[in-house]
Chains A and B, each alone.
Chain A
Amino acid sequence: QKEVEQDPGPLSVPEGAIVSLNCTYSNSAFQYFMWYRQYSRKGPELLMYTYSSGNKEDGRFTAQVDKSSKYISLFIRDSQPSDSATYLCAMSGNRGSTLGRLYFGRGTQLTVWP
């Protein structure tokens, strides 16, 4: 079993839809949780960064972390065609092999059609 599981999709939604992206993980040492957006042939761009459990909102994006369930989510409201990209969840910890090192999900490919 991989340490971080993410459904690769593809996910296709109409413009204006609410998108829900999810990852599960197995290592309880993970403390820092990130969502990156990656456009084709570009590097990942940091969207959200959360420490421990809780919610964080930034514009149309909301990140949720539930450490008890080892489950993280990213919600995109009022999705736009420009949101079409691959979304990668990533996490790291503060001890041992997880210190400062990112563990990635496979990425979910999202298409928002007009």
Chain B
Amino acid sequence: GAVVSQHPSWVICKSGTSVKIECRSLDFQATTMFWYRQFPKQSLMLMATSNEGSKATYEQGVEKDKFLINHASLTLSTLTVTSAHPEDSSFYICSAHTDAAQPQHFGDGTRLSIL
């Protein structure tokens, strides 16, 4: 149980393109979903936390107009990287949990490459 599906797993696109990444909890209802960014050989860096039906809470230094998060249902959250540039290239990972006393379960990540 506790499966989180993330799609796409890899995307390559031109600079200036907007890219949408989906995160779905397949067998549980996720009251909260999280979006992380990971650079090579580094740990995960939290970008934002989203609760179903509410606006996302962004970490300091993360541009909310650049990284649009929508959490429209208890099983789906999306991250849209708007007008992506090469410096946005990274590994993006989502996670979800049912409540704060339960562990987060992670998707398999999306490798984003902006040319």
Chain A interfacial positions (CB closer than 8 Å to B): 32, 34, 36, 41-46, 49, 51, 88, 92, 94, 99-102, 104-107, 109
Expressed in whole angstroms, the minimum distance between the Cβ of B70 and any Cβ of chain A is 20
B54 to chain A, nearest CB (A): 14
Tally of A-B residue pairs with Cβ under 8 A? Answer: 53
Closest to B49 in A: A101
Interface size of B as a range: 20 to 34
Which of B12-20, B61-69, B74-82, B100-108 has 4 or more CB atoms under 8 Å from chain A? B100-108
B residues near A34, Cβ cutoff 8 Å: 103
Chain A nearest CB, measured from B104 CB (Å) = 6
Chain B residues 9 to 45 lying within 8 A of chain A, measured CB to CB, are 32, 34, 41-44
Assuming the A-B contacts A106-B42, A106-B43, are A41 and B97 also in contact, with contact meaning beta carbons closer than 8 angstroms in the complex? Answer: no
Provide the residues of chain A in CB contact with B106, threshold 8 Å.
36, 43-46
Asked, given contacts A32-B103, A94-B100, A101-B49, whether A42 binds B42 with beta carbons under 8 Å apart, the answer is no
Q: Given the complex of chains A and B, what is the CA–CA distance between A64 and B62 in angstroms? A: 35
Could you tell me the distance in whole angstroms from the C-beta of A87 to the nearest C-beta in chain B? 11
Q: Determine if B101 and A104 form an interchain contact, defined as CB atoms under 8 angstroms apart.
A: no
Q: Cβ of A100 and Cβ of B103 under 8 Å apart?
A: no
Cβ-defined contact, B43 with A100, below 8 A: no
Contact of A100 with B109 in the complex, beta carbons under 8 Å: no
